[in-house]
């Protein structure tokens, strides 16, 4: 019989709805049941595309004997970490204190009141049985010991959340120079990325390095960045046929991925490659952007223009089966073009994976392969594109990986911003259309009348927004304002950030907490400081506030952003990769404040021309009609287009010429 998860909407929870384990969702009724029956709680956390979550389910949660013990002695709660990252943060913190490491699946045992007592990540079946039996015996025979340990553990969690000390020292370039000097020691000079495995793309790290190399003229950083971007785009971590990146590679070569594809990775990598193209217009970067957006549009876009969360790694019970190829299959499909295709995509010992399967990846550039086969680069590309189309058609007939159809506000914000930025860089109208339709979807479905924002909304689940939802959605809306010249998007972004200041920010602690003060209270209230695969919500909110302080001449926004940044200056210097979004904010604040205001009847064309040729710290304001926005007020002139360059709170004479505006930016 299905358990109570059958009534949930999360694909991850539904994956467990037919387990013999009597799973519950996290809610007030489930927590009350644990208190009523005085049983330990198992909080088991994962996500739909998690490979080892599937393994543990098959080994343990589908086993009747294991389920019997779990159902008898525990209240078993399944949590989708992408729906409820607040719960994940609390119990992940507890497991990291206990074991020194974390990951998913996350399995944490807690007292009936929710305080953690023991946990870990993946457990093989026999070890899992031992854990269940030992914990059940402990709680039955010596509950005082369990309560004492839980009390100490919660004290430890609370200590972790003590607000960071702030330094009053001036923002200084040396902080970033020390940070990057340490960072360079971990560069992989042959394959790009870090000199260890596994390798995660970590787009925000490379966006920081891109901006740093621009401002500091650091050739070594730029060389490492270009190497990394090329190796990732040509590696097995990138879907060479269909576009889009897998979550990470298991080796140092960017070759063998865990094959799940996440919206948040692909959104940020689209932004990164677009910004890299802006500074170094390489065809590989453009191709990667266009193909990745095509993948998102084809496979992760809902009929309502929301973006789904992820594609699973597995299909037909095998990881990566949808994406890999056998040599004989390729020979039969490609015929006389197989040899060229095999050279181009490394169907040889380099691309060999296991069990007769090959992962498509690239090494040589197009010109080298064309020279070998005595054909032009254009002929080579025509043959490769024809082969790709043929193989994609065959791949479409395979059993597809599972789709996680959750639409998360934060991740949609990342994708919406990426589409807006790529429109500004490449001028592709469909990117603008996609960005606007997604923003309209978020506004209509996720933005509430009282200024609040939802994280998830569907027929059976409505979850209020967390700080990352506000931060990334506001960032996206500011980008949509730029590409549309519609100030309502900027005002909506301000409204979201104002709500975040009232409900998430503590003036006393000088801290943004991750959870809304008016929503459910967990055993500790977490703050999110360090940047990871996704930048921290606090760092993104600080960047938003800095931009809003310019648009609205509101000094408090900048004051809050600077206070937050002062809390992590030591961390930036010590470990740059963990604070790269903060590093981007520091880089911006170290440059002279620069605004470029475009007003009149030809805003879009001038914006596109200027955006492609300006530094990352330039803040654009645009308007095609009279406006009360401080940067734009009294500057609109009917039937003409003017550009105002402002530096250090002083504006030069307006010009109708893009070339003159660029000259003013360079000279002043």
Q: Domain holding 201: CATH number?
A: 1.50.10.10
Residues in Cβ contact with 468 at an 8 Å cutoff, skipping those fewer than 6 apart? 85, 410, 514, 528, 534, 537, 540
Q: Are residues 264 and 390 in the same domain?
A: no
One domain, residues 189 and 62: no
Contacts of 71 (CB under 8 A, 6+ apart): 20, 21, 22
pTM of the predicted model, to two decimals?
0.95
Residues 579-627: tens digit of each pLDDT: 999 999 999 999 988 999 999 988 988 999 999 999 999 999 999 999 9
142 with 60, same domain: the answer is yes
Q: What is the predicted pLDDT for the residue at 548?
A: 98
Range of the domain at 648: 594-667
Q: Looking at residue 26, which CATH number applies to its domain?
A: 3.40.30.10
Q: What is the tens place of the pLDDT at every residue in 385-398?
A: 999 999 999 999 99
- Same domain? 584 vs 610: no
Lowest mean pLDDT among 158-167, 298-307, 622-631: 158-167
Q: Domain end: 532, 562, 590, which one?
A: 590
**CA nearest 654: which of 609, 612, 606?**
606
**165 within some domain:** no
Which of 397, 422, 453 is the endpoint of a domain?
A: 397
User: How many Å apart are CA 33 and CA 22, to the nearest integer?
Assistant: 13
In a domain, 104, yes or no: yes
566 shares its domain with 633: no
Residue bearing the bigger pLDDT, 256 or 638: 256
Q: What is the rounded distance in angstroms from the CA atom of residue 536 to the CA atom of residue 372?
A: 47
Same domain flag for 577 and 609: no
Tell me, yes or no, whether 656 lies in a domain: yes
Does the residue 166 lie in any domain? no
What lies within 8 Å, CB to CB, of 55 at 6+ separation is 122
- Residue 301: CA atoms inside 13 Å, Cβ hemisphere, count? 18
The pLDDT value recorded for residue 601 is 85
* 393 shares a domain with 303: no
Residue 666: count of CB within 10 angstroms of its CB: 10
- 362 and 488 assigned to the same domain: no
Same-domain check for residues 181 and 156:
no
Band (pLDDT 50/70/90 cuts) for residue 49 is confident
Q: What is residue 668's predicted lDDT score, i.e. its pLDDT?
A: 62
Question: How many domains would you assign to the chain?
Answer: 4
Specify whether 379 is located in the same domain as 426. Answer: no
| Residue 167 resides in a domain | no
Are residue 565 and residue 470 in the same domain, yes or no? yes
Domain end position, chosen among 160, 184, 211: 160
Verify that 266 and 389 share a domain, yes or no: no
Examine the pLDDT at 170 and tell me if it is beyond 90: no
Position 647 pLDDT exceeds 70: yes
Are the CB atoms for 637 and 602 separated by under 8 Å? no
Given a cut of 80, whether residue 58 has pLDDT beyond it is: yes
Rounded Cα–Cα distance for residues 480 and 487 (Å):
9
CB count within 10 Å of CB 166 equals 15
Segment 546-586, tens digit of pLDDT: 999 999 999 999 999 999 999 999 999 999 999 999 999 99
pLDDT score, position 248: 95
């Amino acid at each position: 019989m299905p358990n109570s998860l059958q009534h949930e909407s999360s694909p991850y929870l539904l994956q467990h709805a037919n387990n013999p384990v009597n799973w519950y969702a996290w809610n007030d009724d489930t927590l009350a049941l644990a208190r009523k029956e005085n049983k330990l709680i198992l909080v088991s956390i994962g996500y739909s595309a998690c490979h080892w979550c599937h393994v543990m389910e098959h080994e343990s949660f589908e086993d009747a004997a294991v389920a019997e013990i779990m159902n008898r002695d525990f209240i078993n709660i399944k949590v989708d970490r992408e729906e409820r990252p607040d719960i994940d943060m609390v119990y992940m913190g507890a497991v990291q204190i206990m074991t020194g490491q974390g990951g998913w699946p996350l399995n944490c045992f807690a007292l009936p009141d929710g305080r953690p007592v023991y946990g870990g990540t993946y457990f093989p079946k026999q070890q899992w049985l031992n854990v269940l039996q030992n914990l059940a015996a402990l709680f039955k025979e010596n509950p005082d010991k369990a309560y004492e340990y839980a009390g100490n553990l919660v004290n430890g969690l609370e200590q972790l959340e003590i607000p960071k000390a702030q330094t009053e020292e001036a923002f200084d370039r040396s902080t970033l120079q020390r940070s990057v000097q340490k960072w360079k020691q971990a560069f992989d000079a042959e394959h790009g990325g870090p000199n260890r495995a596994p390798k995660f793309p970590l787009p925000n790290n490379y966006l920081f390095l891109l901006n740093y190399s621009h401002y500091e003229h650091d050739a070594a950083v730029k060389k490492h960045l270009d190497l990394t971007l090329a190796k990732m785009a040509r590696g097995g971590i990138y879907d060479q046929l269909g576009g889009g990146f897998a979550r990470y590679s298991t080796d140092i070569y960017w070759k063998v991925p865990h094959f799940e594809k996440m919206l948040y990775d692909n959104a940020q990598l689209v932004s990164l490659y677009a910004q890299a193209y802006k500074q170094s217009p390489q065809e590989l970067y453009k191709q990667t952007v266009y193909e990745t957006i095509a993948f998102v549009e084809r496979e992760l876009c809902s009929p309502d223009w929301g973006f789904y969360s992820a594609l699973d790694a597995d299909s037909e019970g095998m990881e990566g089966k949808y994406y890999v190829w056998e040599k004989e299959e390729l020979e039969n499909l490609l015929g006389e073009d197989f040899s060229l295709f095999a050279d181009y995509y490394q169907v040889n010992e380099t691309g060999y994976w296991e069990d007769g399967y090959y992962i498509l990846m690239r090494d040589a550039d197009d010109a080298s392969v064309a020279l070998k086969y005595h054909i032009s680069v254009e002929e080579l590309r025509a043959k490769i594109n024809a082969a790709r189309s043929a193989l994609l058609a065959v791949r479409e007939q395979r059993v597809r990986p599972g789709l996680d159809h959750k639409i998360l506000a934060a991740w949609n914000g990342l994708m919406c911003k990426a589409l807006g930025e790529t429109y500004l860089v490449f001028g592709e109208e469909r990117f603008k259309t996609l960005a606007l339709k997604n923003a309209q979807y978020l506004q209509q479905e996720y933005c509430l009348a009282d200024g609040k924002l939802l994280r998830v909304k569907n027929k059976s689940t409505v979850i209020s927004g967390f700080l990352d939802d506000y931060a990334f959605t506001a960032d996206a809306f500011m980008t949509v304002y730029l590409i549309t010249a519609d100030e309502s998007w900027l005002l909506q972004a301000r409204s979201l950030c104002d709500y975040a200041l009232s409900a998430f920010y503590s003036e006393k602690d000088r801290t943004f907490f991750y959870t809304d003060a008016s929503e459910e209270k967990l055993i500790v209230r977490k703050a999110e400081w360090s940047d990871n695969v996704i930048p921290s919500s606090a760092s993104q909110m600080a960047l938003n506030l800095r931009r809003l302080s310019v648009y609205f001449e509101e000094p408090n926004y900048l004051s809050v952003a600077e206070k937050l940044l002062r809390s992590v200056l030591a961390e930036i210097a010590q470990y740059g990769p963990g604070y790269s979004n903060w590093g981007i904010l520091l880089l911006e604040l170290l440059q002279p404040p620069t605004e470029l205001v475009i007003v009149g009847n030809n805003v879009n064309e001038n914006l596109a021309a200027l955006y492609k040729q300006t530094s990352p710290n330039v803040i654009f304001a645009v308007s095609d009609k009279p406006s009360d926005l401080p940067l734009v007020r009294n500057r609109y002139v009917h039937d003409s287009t003017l550009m105002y360059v402002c530096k250090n709170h002083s504006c030069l004479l307006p010009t109708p010429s893009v070339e003159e505006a660029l000259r003013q930016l360079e000279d002043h």
